[in-house]
Structure 1
Amino acid sequence: MSFNSPFPDVEIPNLSVYDYLFGSIADADLQKPALIDGTSGAVTTYQALIGQINGIAGALAARGLELGDVVGLHSPNVPAFASVLHGILRAGGTATTINALYTAEDIAKQLTGSGAKFLFTVSPLYPQAKAAAEKVGIADDHIIVLDGVDGHPSLKDLLTQGATAPDVSFDPATQVAVLPYSSGTTGVPKGVILTHRNLVANVAQMEPRVGINADDGVLAVLPFFHIYGLTVLLNIALKLRARLVTMPKFDLVEFLRIIQDNKLTYLFIAPPVAVALAKHPLIDQYDLSSVHTVFSGAAPLDEELGKAVATRLGARIRQGYGMSELSPVSHAIPFDRDDMPLSSVGLPLANTVNKLVDPESGEEIDLPAEGRSKPGELWVKGPNVMLGYLNNPAATSDTLDEDGYLHTGDIAVVDSEGVVFIVDRLKELIKYKGYQVPPAELEALLLTHPEIADAAVIGVLDDEGEEVPKAFVVLQANATIDEDGVMAFVSERVSPHKKVRKVEFIETVPKSAAGKILRKDLRAAESAK
């Protein structure tokens, strides 16, 4: 049976993203800091941001951007990212955000797939951006290098052009705002079609749950080019008139310095950062007392790890769930629910309906009268669900059904109050002698060992052709535990079928920019042996 969000529906205005975020800004907020460059300390006020957005929109329109044209945005987290993103949308364009770590070949694939006509980048990423643009035929005058490179327009050039933002009209429910590409952890990356209504809806759905207000300082280290960073950090913070402090890449010392010096109050992180916050000795050398909330997403956060972070920082810890196809958030532990298990992803957001479906029988799983339900694939329906995958009707029909439910590919259980717990990904469950073994459960357990800094688990074949769990382990400095010790540690704490049966020590666990473990990379390396 389906189950609704326990929260009353929120109003979703029929507005563009620009009008929703900035259309009704109060005069008193215009001089507040909107974005602060964490490296340089340069401040962009809300008034300056809106001026830049309109200037970029006008310049793009004057240079030939038409309604619905796609623009590539290839940049780390810098304040100008916000100006450019919203300038593209303000002009009626569609932004396809590109991973700052991509190679020229990867960039070219996304530019080709999305049909981009312009490309924004920055000078440190220029060589690969330029090579990709040449490969797909984007002219030099349509490659904008924010901080300037000879032969191309810069952000300053666009802003001093003095062009007026165009008067565009479109239906927010059908006008494509952004085309992020799914991370590819389970296959070839696909363009996710998200409309203005999708993005507006997700901000409206999340606003009552996150507990951010205009006095908060929010750290923006998770990448804006990922939908988590774009919606949850950038758009929600701007809508609530908080100040965002940007970091172009993660560095623990700089991360801690920026929190301390800017007295930041709210951190959005992925689990790898939680590991550092819980275990790294450097944490004690900085004053992080201003932080009142840490919100984790993008990958499962272990409850014990979350509690360790909460104890060390004296802050509340919350977790949410989502995916690019959900704009991205569908579930969250509300900021005011200290009683909710941190092992959960919280409650379904307002305006959504959920189902759990047995992946083998196709039968719907009932909400339990008490305790937790049987596991099933999580299906979600709501105004934040994507329109589909770009030029990929087969993948769209595999993921979106006729009733509007998005089949997430994640296995979950639900309790009698509607609290959802993610078990693992459907495609990543290890099948050992017919039993299902969730890698995330074993990874979370491994991280509780004081000598283990990080871990990942995949299924590999043993000598008899049976799939067994193999752990890839990153050790803490001066650790003495060996392979047998790792296996014994797990064996003492899990059912027999969940035992780790192989161990390999590695330098780092491969992860996406959003913090997801790239198990496909580990599987590829394993198969190449």
Structure 2
Amino acid sequence: MIYRSPLPDIEIPDVTLTELVLGTARESGDKIALVDGTTGDSLTYAELVEAAEAGAAGLHRAGVRPGDVVALMSHNQPAYAIALHAVIAAGATVTPINPVLTHREVTGQLTAAGAKVLIAANTVADKAVEVAAAAGVTRVFLLGGDDVSGAPSFETLLAEGGPAPDPDLDPATAVAVLPFSSGTTGTSKGVRLTHRNLVANLLQTRAGWPIGPDDVQAAVLPFFHIYGFTIILNSGLLGGATVVTLPRFEVGGYLAALARYRVTRAYFAPPMLLALARAPEIDELDLSSLRYVLCGAAPMDVEVTERLEKRLGCLIRQGYGMTEASPGTHQVFDAEFPATPTGSVGRLSPNTEARLVRPGTDTDVPPGEPGELLIRGPQVMAGYLGNPRATAETITDGWLHTGDMVRVDDDGLFWVVDRIKELIKYKGYQVAPAELESVLLTHPAVTDAAVVGVPHAEGGEAPRAYVVTTGPVDEGELMMFVAERVAPYKKVREVRFVDEIPKSPTGKILRRVLRDGA
């Protein structure tokens, strides 16, 4: 049984990501495209286009060519959009990087992606220079300010102006963005998203969420994450909205920005719901401009959501997607916000098909029963970078296996029931148990280890480690050992010592046994 969107299919133009997003930007002229919610610095649409074209020309002069990979490591700021679209307009591929990743993790991504250039925020200048040297990246440019650590400012690329080069690209096959995702297997892999994938998803999303010039979008969820990249930044620019950037989520500052800039559309991850539901500042601010609030990246708590809705005076609804789908596949359309129950991820976006199958099979489940969600559509990735086996395991006969158990109710609404895949979602970030297990096993006192996700008040889920040891070691030492080697959001929050790790006859860790026995 194949499920389809109630909305008609849309036409997908044969253009690049930047041609779509900034194609009509000059018409917006002096309208504010992006504003830094912390400093108030702003960028008009005309300035954005001019800077992106100048940046593309500068990158071309620096030796960047179609097919090259340029890494972009920064917090949310208006200059992020300039750098992003400069790289795309130069015909290169962007691999976005989380600035809080450790030196080892960043070096690994740069190496795996084959990055030729690194553009980084000047707040992480020292790290940028060090990881570039370790990964053999030939050039580093810094966003935001004067030269630091011997690396030139990105602004130096803009000095000679445009025009942008005219790369000969096929949008259907040329990779525009290369984010790294743990997918359904728990091992981080480069996700090859073509221009057509992203162009399709932006237009699919726009059909249900018609963002326009009167909208103001709050952008605290990071642009290096596909949610922030597509759904907030590029959807906002495509619609001619104003995007208010914030470098991090801090309750008071975030709410103040919503009020100050009269934000109409806000985007949450589940941990934000709980923090905002408790925030006294809500009662002191005028948030009446809010019309739509979308929550994504992980399932949201219905009771907390309904409590926050009453305080905000605005409905909060949920979407669904994954990096491998650019990311959006399901939406609660603007027109259906009031009629859609809290917790549903809505309906399929246009040009998107879905099946629900029994896990590990190609057998469709009967209507009403939960099954693994399979997705087919133009937004589905071209495949994993250099990993045909993982690609073949994830996409079969054109169907993307999401690893999530989903059901469809009698009204045709989709609901996420459970997760088949082993990934842990901490504050919306993917945490791969296999990565943490590998780190633990390098400790001289650890002979075996397993990591599972357990409920966490602030993060939704958090990693708990089960370890078998041969020597004296305590929980704190092991937690610190892991923390020194991974990004902060990946840290093990609890350690339990066991005599053995339960495994199947084939050696697969039986994580459910660990969770059920907790």
Give the TM-score, by structure 1 length.
Answer: 0.80
User: Aligned-pair distance for 1:31?
Assistant: 1.0
SS where residue 218 of structure 1 aligns?
Answer: strand
Tell me the equivalent position of 1:6: 6
Q: Which runs of 5+ in 1 are unaligned?
A: 430-438, 444-455, 459-466, 476-509, 511-515
Tell me the equivalent position of 2:411: 417
Q: Cα distance 1:125–1:183, how it changes in 2: closer, same or farther (>3 A)?
A: farther
Q: Cα distance 1:67–1:39, how it changes in 2: closer, same or farther (>3 A)?
A: same
**Residue deviations 1:396-427 (CA, integer Å, cap 9, x gap):** 111011x2100000111112333110012103
Aligned 1:290-439 pairs, distance under 5 A: 290-337=289-336, 338-359=338-359, 362-366=362-366, 368=367, 373-401=368-396, 403-428=397-422
Tell me the equivalent position of 2:172: 173
Question: Is contact 1:72-1:118 (8 Å) kept?
Answer: yes
Question: Is contact 1:318-1:335 (8 Å) kept?
Answer: no
Tell me the equivalent position of 1:144: 141
**Residue deviations 1:86-123 (CA, integer Å, cap 9, x gap):** 11000000000001211111110000000000000122
> For residues 455 and 22 of structure 2, what CA distance do their matches in structure 1 show?
48
User: Aligned-pair distance for 1:362?
Assistant: 4.0
SS where residue 355 of structure 2 aligns?
Answer: strand
Aligned 1:406-485 pairs, distance under 5 A: 406-428=400-422, 471-473=455-457
2:376 is matched by which residue type in structure 1?
A: K
SS where residue 186 of structure 2 aligns?
Answer: coil
Aligned 1:281-292 pairs, distance under 5 A: 281-292=280-291
> For residues 374 and 517 of structure 1, what CA distance do their matches in structure 2 show?
34
> For residues 424 and 285 of structure 1, what CA distance do their matches in structure 2 show?
38
SS where residue 86 of structure 1 aligns?
Answer: helix
Q: Cα distance 1:296–1:517, how it changes in 2: closer, same or farther (>3 A)?
A: farther
> For residues 26 and 47 of structure 2, what CA distance do their matches in structure 1 show?
14
User: Aligned-pair distance for 1:317?
Assistant: 1.5
**Residue deviations 1:6-65 (CA, integer Å, cap 9, x gap):** 2100111111111112223463x1110000011111110000000010011000001101
SS where residue 181 of structure 2 aligns?
Answer: coil
**Structure 1 residues 327-336 or 418-427, which shifts more?**
418-427
Q: Cα distance 1:236–1:468, how it changes in 2: closer, same or farther (>3 A)?
A: closer
1:134 is matched by which residue type in structure 2?
A: A
Q: Cα distance 1:474–1:136, how it changes in 2: closer, same or farther (>3 A)?
A: closer
**Residue deviations 1:53-84 (CA, integer Å, cap 9, x gap):** 00110000011011110000000001000000
Question: Is contact 2:184-2:422 (8 Å) kept?
Answer: no
1:317 is matched by which residue type in structure 2?
A: I
User: Aligned-pair distance for 1:312?
Assistant: 1.0
Give the TM-score, by structure 2 length.
Answer: 0.82
Tell me the equivalent position of 2:475: none
Aligned 1:511-522 pairs, distance under 5 A: 521=492
Q: Cα distance 1:71–1:360, how it changes in 2: closer, same or farther (>3 A)?
A: closer
1:392 is matched by which residue type in structure 2?
A: N
**Residue deviations 1:237-266 (CA, integer Å, cap 9, x gap):** 000000001001111111111111111111
User: Aligned-pair distance for 1:152?
Assistant: 1.8
Q: Cα distance 1:360–1:527, how it changes in 2: closer, same or farther (>3 A)?
A: farther
Question: Is contact 1:318-1:334 (8 Å) kept?
Answer: no
**Structure 1 residues 189-198 or 255-264, which shifts more?**
255-264
RMSD between aligned residues: 2.8
Q: Cα distance 1:173–1:361, how it changes in 2: closer, same or farther (>3 A)?
A: closer
SS where residue 336 of structure 1 aligns?
Answer: helix
> For residues 125 and 185 of structure 1, what CA distance do their matches in structure 2 show?
31
Question: Is contact 1:62-1:163 (8 Å) kept?
Answer: no
Tell me the equivalent position of 2:509: none
SS where residue 191 of structure 1 aligns?
Answer: strand
User: Aligned-pair distance for 1:150?
Assistant: 4.9
Aligned 1:27-176 pairs, distance under 5 A: 27=27, 29-139=28-138, 142-147=139-144, 148-176=147-175
SS where residue 275 of structure 1 aligns?
Answer: helix
Tell me the equivalent position of 1:486: none
> For residues 497 and 199 of structure 2, what CA distance do their matches in structure 1 show?
43
> For residues 496 and 229 of structure 2, what CA distance do their matches in structure 1 show?
34
Question: Across the two proteins, how many residue pairs are aligned to each other?
Answer: 450
SS where residue 284 of structure 1 aligns?
Answer: helix
2:347 is matched by which residue type in structure 1?
A: L
> For residues 469 and 316 of structure 1, what CA distance do their matches in structure 2 show?
29
SS where residue 222 of structure 2 aligns?
Answer: coil
1:37 is matched by which residue type in structure 2?
A: D
User: Aligned-pair distance for 1:155?
Assistant: 2.1
> For residues 357 and 344 of structure 2, what CA distance do their matches in structure 1 show?
18
Question: Is contact 2:296-2:318 (8 Å) kept?
Answer: yes
SS where residue 300 of structure 2 aligns?
Answer: coil
Tell me the equivalent position of 2:447: none
> For residues 498 and 99 of structure 2, what CA distance do their matches in structure 1 show?
27
> For residues 282 and 120 of structure 2, what CA distance do their matches in structure 1 show?
33
Question: Is contact 2:74-2:99 (8 Å) kept?
Answer: yes
User: Aligned-pair distance for 1:279?
Assistant: 2.2
Q: Cα distance 1:67–1:298, how it changes in 2: closer, same or farther (>3 A)?
A: same
Tell me the equivalent position of 1:228: 227
> For residues 61 and 455 of structure 2, what CA distance do their matches in structure 1 show?
55
> For residues 247 and 33 of structure 1, what CA distance do their matches in structure 2 show?
16
> For residues 74 and 204 of structure 1, what CA distance do their matches in structure 2 show?
26
User: Aligned-pair distance for 1:302?
Assistant: 2.3
